[in-house]
Chain A
Amino acid sequence: MPLPINEIKKLITESIPDASIEIKDLMGDSNHYEATVISKIFNGLSKIDQHKLVYKSLKGKMGNELHALSITTKGK
C-alpha cells in the first residue's frame, strides 16, 4: 500500500511539530520519496539519531508500507 505525501507529512509533524518538511515523489509512484526535514530538535544530535527521530515518527511504516524514503535532516 503506497503512502501519500500528505500522510507522511502528517505523521512527521505529529512527532516533530516545528518541522519544515519538503517531500518529493521521485518516480511519481507514491513509493519512492525524498524528504528534507528541518527542525530544532535535531540540533546537537548525531545524524543517526536525527534520522531515527524521523523513522520513529513514521511509526513502523518505514520498511513496510513505505519502501523507499531518502532522508536529509537539518537543525535550525
Chain B
Amino acid sequence: MEIKEKIQKLIDANSVCLFMKGTPEAPQCGFSMAVCNLLKHLNVNFNGVNILEDENLRQGIKEFSDWPTIPQLYIMGEFVGGCDIVKEMFEKGELNILLKDKKII
C-alpha cells in the first residue's frame, strides 16, 4: 500500500489520531508528550501512531501534511497542527470547543 493511502486510512479510522514519537503510554519526545498530556487531560480517546517504528511513515507523514515536525494531530480527518498550535488552542479553550463541536468529548 502506498504510504499516503496508509496515512489516509489511519486518519479516517480514528476520529482523533496523533502521529507521535513513542506511544501515548511512553512518549519519546517532550513535544509528543505535551500533546498526549493535553488530550488525556481533556479525556480524549485517541490513537497514537508511533512514527519511530516505521521510517516510511516518518517521512510520509511530513509530506502528507506538508509539515516538517512531529507530533501532528488530526481530528476527524483534518490536520489541526503540531505541538505549538495545539498548545495555543488548548490555552485559548479552542481545542475544547473543536472537540465538543465534533462530538468527541
Contact = CB atoms under 8 A, between A and B. Distances in A.
Interface of A: 47-48, 51-52, 55, 60, 62-63, 68, 70-72
Contacts of A63: 62, 68-70
Contacts, number: 31
Consensus secondary structure, chain B interface:
mixed
Nearest to B86: A47
B76 to A, nearest CB: 15
B68 A55 contact: yes
Contacts of B89: 47
A19 to B, nearest CB: 17
A47 B85 contact: yes
A52 B81 CA distance: 10
B69 A48 contact: no
Nearest to B82: A51
